[in-house]
Structure 1
Amino acid sequence: MSPISPSDLSALHQLLIACGDYASQQSQQSFQVFEKGVDDYVTTVDQLLDQKLLVGMQALFPTDGIITEENRATAEQFRQSDSQAGPGSDRPLWFVDPIDGTDDFIQGGDHYAVMVGRVVGGLPQAGWIYAPVRQHLVWGGPGWGLFEQTNGGHSTPLIPKQPAFDPDRAWAVVIGDKDERRFGPAIAQRFPKVEFLSLGSFGLKVLAVITGQAGIYIYLNGRVKLWDTTGPLALAQAAGLVCCDLAGRPIRFTEPHVAPQTLIHQQPIVVGWPSYVEALLSPLSEIAAAIGLPGEGG
């Protein structure tokens, strides 16, 4: 069952599609790029869409908390919500990423998306990913299901596809460029049949697992934030995927598992089909421990 009304759902879809299509149009134009931190960039397109999404979603959900990537003042709502123990602790929080995969967007690639995730009581309840280059919108959540729409057509159920796991035949793992450089050689040595799949957007990486392009996604880089994860992991859980850290513990969305100032996850993230997670979690944990995760002396 949808966690929001049909009219709000329709309006949210229109907002996400309008923002994504604007990003796609602007990708062919000149825009400014700023460095927020080491290997962390933002464009004037991110900033404009961030404001548009914030205003639009505040109008749709005036009593909820709306937290966007480029308006750091909105993160205070996370700290307020996380500190509440009494009434109001289940106030919905929305995490908004105006362009997930900014590096790919800057480079003129296709693998970026507009993303929104809804968290209630510290758990992801629903997510939306709009990939404008393909005009592909995916949404849903646990207890609701998965849906997709392409080129503005009718919505249809999205059917997850679980790839068979056979370590003696070629199989794919989704991994980011930085993690592949750091951990890829050791993974390939342990599993000679592995193939690495990399896409710019965290959300599109998760969708690659949901749709069977790969059986598992590992993120060990130690920099991913709540607006990157909440929507995709809500979709992953709706698909029946396991979302855990290298010790098999569920991914948490509250302190101390999320740094309150930066909203960075303190857990490494594994998203995969159960058969893949069961077979790979222990060896991946051993590899990560041997090399050292970022922030742990590595």
Structure 2
Amino acid sequence: MEFQADKIDSLVPQWLMTARKMILESFSQKIEIETKTSRNDLVTGLDRKIEQFLVRKIQECFPGSQIVSEETRPTINEIEEEGLLWIIDPIDGTMNFVKQKNDFAIMIGIFRGGKGQRGFIYDVMADRLYHGGPDQGVYCNYQKMKSPPDVPLVDGLLGVGGVMLINNKYNLQKIALASHGIRIYGSAGIEIIHVLNGQLIGYLSHLHPWDLAAGKILAETLGLVVKTIDGREVNVLSSIDVLVASKNAQKDIIMMAQSHC
């Protein structure tokens, strides 16, 4: 299927603004909340409503697309990388949405032939859309972004997954102490935005395809490293521990993680 860049760049931001309106309107309503794998893994009726809206729009405007989404996911093995693939997270950071009404994002990553073409991360409450791809660069609300500075671990803040830090996976507690400090936002999209902005020098967590797809495209376009903790390439259709970081920070983190093995 042909990658229709202009059409995607025009339509997707409109869809995301409509989804934001749905979210803001939901604050005055009772929200249906369910647990998935644990009491800390939530899904709301609004997650499903936004997902259904986005899936319907994709199917109407780009028929034949393949879609992977957090709430209604196909078997990953059935995905054919040669087509146009959309990977969606309707609300990334559902716990933040439920408890704080802040620090959550809508994310869409678009791939063709297995290669990232467009990433969209929408910080809903800040009304900031991060978008772009390798052919055009990365933008925040249509203002082109520069690549963040290549800061080493010792000079920057590090975003981490809370469970990973508590369990000291990859010697993470020592890595955290070597940094200027750690931040835990509870949303992969928000964490990755801070790496894109240079507010964090890296983000390490266990991510699923819908957590990573959009951010991987945007981060790599800005010259950041998106690899496994041991420096291997990341398959965007896998669920795996991922490090998104500046090149210097990645080297420092890998060295300290491996010294613990």
> How does the TM-score come out when normalised to structure 2?
0.89
Aligned CA distance change for structure 1 residues 109 and 162 (closer, same or farther; 3 Å)? farther
Whether contact under 8 Å (2:202, 2:245) holds in the other structure is yes
Query: Partner of 2:98 in structure 1?
Result: 106
Alignment of structure 1 residues 79-98 onto 2, 5 Å: 79-82=77-80, 89-98=81-90
Whether contact under 8 Å (2:132, 2:218) holds in the other structure is yes
The alpha-carbon deviation at position 250 of structure 1 amounts to 1.2
The alpha-carbon deviation at position 33 of structure 1 amounts to 0.7
Aligned CA distance change for structure 1 residues 30 and 130 (closer, same or farther; 3 Å)? same
The SS at the match of 1:268 is strand
Query: Partner of 2:45 in structure 1?
Result: 44
Query: Partner of 1:177 in structure 2?
Result: 162
Instruction: Give runs of ≥4 in structure 1 deviating > 4 Å.
Output: none
Count of residues paired in the alignment: 257
Measured in 1, the distance between the counterparts of 2:211 and 2:178 equals 31
Task: Point out the more displaced range, 110-119 or 21-30.
Answer: 21-30
Q: Is 1:230 paired with 2:230?
A: no
Alignment-mate amino acid for residue 227 of structure 2: C
Q: Is 1:276 paired with 2:237?
A: no
Whether contact under 8 Å (1:34, 1:41) holds in the other structure is yes
The alpha-carbon deviation at position 192 of structure 1 amounts to 4.5
Measured in 2, the distance between the counterparts of 1:5 and 1:216 equals 29
Alignment-mate amino acid for residue 100 of structure 1: D
Alignment of structure 1 residues 135-174 onto 2, 5 Å: 135-149=127-141, 155-162=142-149, 164-165=151-152, 167=154, 171-174=156-159
Aligned CA distance change for structure 1 residues 280 and 145 (closer, same or farther; 3 Å)? same
The alpha-carbon deviation at position 28 of structure 1 amounts to 4.6
Alignment-mate amino acid for residue 124 of structure 1: G
The alpha-carbon deviation at position 104 of structure 1 amounts to 0.6
Query: Partner of 1:33 in structure 2?
Result: 33
Measured in 1, the distance between the counterparts of 2:236 and 2:21 equals 30
Whether contact under 8 Å (2:188, 2:212) holds in the other structure is yes
Q: Is 1:195 paired with 2:185?
A: no
Residue of 230, 235, 244 corresponding to 2:227: 244
Whether contact under 8 Å (1:24, 1:132) holds in the other structure is no
Task: Point out the more displaced range, 97-106 or 135-144.
Answer: 135-144
Query: Partner of 2:192 in structure 1?
Result: 206
Measured in 1, the distance between the counterparts of 2:85 and 2:103 equals 26
Aligned CA distance change for structure 1 residues 171 and 188 (closer, same or farther; 3 Å)? farther
Measured in 2, the distance between the counterparts of 1:177 and 1:171 equals 18
Cα deviations by residue, 1:253-296 (Å, 9 ceiling, x for unpaired): 35xxx2xxxxxx1x320110101111221212444x4xxxxxxx
The alpha-carbon deviation at position 137 of structure 1 amounts to 0.6
Query: Partner of 1:295 in structure 2?
Result: none
Whether contact under 8 Å (1:97, 1:228) holds in the other structure is yes
The sequence identity of aligned pairs, in percent, is 23
Alignment-mate amino acid for residue 233 of structure 1: K
Measured in 2, the distance between the counterparts of 1:18 and 1:198 equals 28
Task: Point out the more displaced range, 44-53 or 180-189.
Answer: 180-189
Alignment-mate amino acid for residue 185 of structure 2: L
The SS at the match of 1:18 is helix
Cα deviations by residue, 1:183-228 (Å, 9 ceiling, x for unpaired): 2895444544530112122111111111111111111x4xx22111
Whether contact under 8 Å (2:153, 2:253) holds in the other structure is no
Measured in 1, the distance between the counterparts of 2:11 and 2:204 equals 33
Aligned CA distance change for structure 1 residues 65 and 240 (closer, same or farther; 3 Å)? same
Whether contact under 8 Å (1:202, 1:229) holds in the other structure is yes
